[in-house]
Amino acid sequence: MTLERFGQVLRWFGPFRESDGRVRILQRIETMLRHAWFHGNIDYEDAVNKLRNKNHGTFLVRFSGKDHPGCFTISRVNQKKKISHHRIIQKINDSVSTFFMTEGTYYNSLTDLIEKEAANLSLKEDCPESPYIHLFHKKEEANEDALYESDNDDDD
């Protein structure tokens, strides 16, 4: 990983060290990757292609473009079946992150913002094919397969 890329990761998932002195950046990254709506490093065109022909309320969250470091974008299918994009700004002050779309309404995490703004933005359904979701579900499936195989071993 280049130093520049590490800086980008810190802007999206920072701060590295929180106000209590603890380092929780890896937990924040894992939490984000577990959300089916999180698609990460895809560009505008990829978001539009993923959402094309989807139902009203289908959405994904991605990193904003290079011109907006540390920001995220909600891309969604609106009521008119058009795809719209909403920037989420993250500010880090004194080792504390806050997220907002409009000044005056701040959230402690991106997940909190998505949950609380879901009704306002008609966020109803995760856009399928998150590039990260398989990282967690395959592990669970592998555990189930191992359990199944050990159950079959008893039959011999």
pLDDT (tens digit, 9 = 90+) per residue, 47-76? Answer: 999 999 999 999 999 999 878 888 999 999
93 in Cβ contact with 77 (< 8 Å):
no
What is the pLDDT, as a whole number, of residue 119?
A: 95
The residues, any chain, with a CB within 8 Å of residue 70's CB and separated by 6 or more, are 8, 11, 12, 14, 90, 92
pLDDT exceeds 80 at position 127: yes
Tell me how far apart the alpha carbons of residues 109 and 56 are, in angstroms, rounded to a whole number.
Answer: 25
Domains of the chain with CATH codes: 3-153 (3.30.505.10)
Q: Which residue carries 């989807």 as its tokens?
A: 54
- Say if strands 83-93 and 96-100 run parallel, antiparallel, or are unpaired: antiparallel
pLDDT digits (tens, 9 = 90+) for 103-123: 889 999 999 999 999 999 999
